[in-house]
């Protein structure tokens, strides 16, 4: 069977007599349509083994309680999963399968200059979520001491801070599940822009252009632009042909 791919069609929510919907392993992406939560006769929904990223909250009630929902092996965060619970380890659905989940693919890159202050962000949703930042060192993810929030602040970036980071998270209600974020690579760029170069006044000759009055003529550190003052060469760069003499008219 050929996978469907792409988002789940919202028009499926119009099938009010639907009782069973199997979409597992269909390479589906994006959000699950909220219209599926309103299907009154739906008893089994298979969404597992896709790349779905957002799950709507099913309303409380007998129809939801009888639903078997298979949502594991997707990219759902705690913002999608926590609303499916009434309390710690107490899902609204009779059969909710949500573990494990897949980390988002790829790596994001953040670039910083030496000494720059920055904040790394990797929220995973939910109001009862606990975070632990990790850094990849020697081929393994290691906990960063004291970094237990969705944000990680770097006061002054240095070469020692370069590398790959991620967060690992758990949730008080969505039990028996640990999520990891998409990795984030902190790349340290070139050094900070230095002060402007002062013009070399030792060989002035004839300037190609006069030094602009104001900031350039009074440049001093620190500033944000470097410049070089250029002079007319004293020796021609190309051979100069001797001028041709006009012949004298006959007397």
Whether 246 is covered by a domain: the verdict is no
Same domain, 181 and 199: no
Same domain, 119 and 184: yes
- The last residue of one of the domains, among 59, 75, 97, is 97
Please tell me whether residues 132 and 204 are part of one structural domain. Answer: no
Give yes or no: residues 198 and 184 share one domain: no
182 versus 197: the higher-pLDDT residue is: 182
Q: How many CA atoms lie within 13 A of 216 on its CB side?
A: 11
* 164, 188, 212 - which closes a domain: 188
pLDDT > 70? residue 18: yes
Residue 53 and residue 31 share a domain:
yes
Q: Say yes or no to pLDDT of 202 above 90.
A: no
Structural domain boundaries enclosing 153: 108-188
Give the model's pLDDT for residue 189.
84
Residues 224, 182 share a domain: no
Same domain, 128 and 181: yes
How does pLDDT run across 134-148, given as a tens digit for each residue?
Answer: 999 999 999 999 999
Q: DSSP letters along the chain, please?
A: -----BSPPGGGGG-TT--EEE-TTS-BEEEPPGGGGG-TT--EEE--SSEEEE-PPPPSSHHHHT-EEE--SS---HHHHGGGEEETTEESSSEEE----PPPSS-EEEEE-TT--EEEE-----SSEEEEEEEEETTEEEEPTT--SSEEEESS--GGG-EEEEEEEEESSS-S--EEPPPEEEEE-SPPP-PPPPP--SS-SSBSSPPPTTTTTT--SS-S------B--SS-SS--PPPPPPPPPP-
Is there a single domain that holds both residue 125 and residue 57? Answer: no
Would residue 18 count as lying in a domain? Answer: yes
Kindly state whether residue 202 falls inside one of the protein's structural domains.
yes
Average pLDDT, the chain: 84
Q: Are residues 135 and 171 in the same domain?
A: yes
Q: Are residues 172 and 221 in the same domain?
A: no
What band does 225 get if pLDDT is binned at 50, 70 and 90?
very low
- Model confidence pLDDT, tens digit, residues 26-40: 999 999 999 999 999
Region 199-204: mean pLDDT is: 50
Asked whether residue 61 falls in the same domain as residue 44, the answer is yes
Residue 245 lies in a domain: no
The mean pLDDT value for 200-215 works out to: 49
Give domain status of residue 249, yes or no. Answer: no
125 and 64 within one domain: no
The verdict on residue 142 lying in a domain is: yes
For residue 240, being part of any structural domain is answered with: no
Which tops the pLDDT comparison, 65 or 165? 165
Task: Report the domain count for the chain.
Answer: 3
The pLDDT score that the predictor gives to residue 239 is: 61
């Amino acid at each position: 069977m050929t996978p469907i791919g792409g988002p789940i069609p919202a028009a499926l929510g119009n099938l009010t007599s639907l009782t069973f919907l199997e979409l597992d392993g269909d390479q589906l992406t994006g959000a699950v349509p909220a219209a599926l939560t309103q299907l009154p006769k739906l008893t089994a929904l298979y969404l597992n083994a896709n790349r779905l990223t957002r799950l709507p909250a099913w309303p409380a009630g007998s129809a939801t309680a009888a639903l078997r929902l298979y949502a594991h092996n997707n990219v759902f965060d705690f913002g999608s999963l926590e609303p499916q619970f009434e309390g710690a380890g107490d899902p609204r659905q009779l059969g909710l399968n949500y573990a494990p989940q897949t980390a988002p693919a790829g790596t994001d890159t953040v670039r910083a200059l030496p000494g720059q202050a920055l904040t790394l962000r990797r929220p995973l949703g939910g109001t009862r979520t606990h975070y632990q930042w990790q850094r990849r060192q020697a081929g393994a993810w290691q906990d960063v001491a004291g970094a237990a929030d969705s944000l990680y602040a770097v006061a002054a970036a240095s070469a020692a801070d370069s590398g790959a980071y991620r967060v690992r998270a758990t949730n008080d209600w969505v039990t028996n599940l640990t999520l990891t974020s998409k990795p984030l690579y902190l790349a340290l760029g070139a050094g900070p822009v230095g002060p402007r170069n002062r013009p070399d006044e030792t060989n002035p000759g004839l300037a190609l252009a006069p030094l602009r009055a104001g900031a350039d003529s009074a440049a001093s550190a620190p500033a944000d632009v470097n410049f070089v003052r250029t002079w007319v060469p004293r020796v021609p760069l190309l051979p100069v042909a001797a001028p041709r003499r006009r012949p004298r008219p006959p007397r």
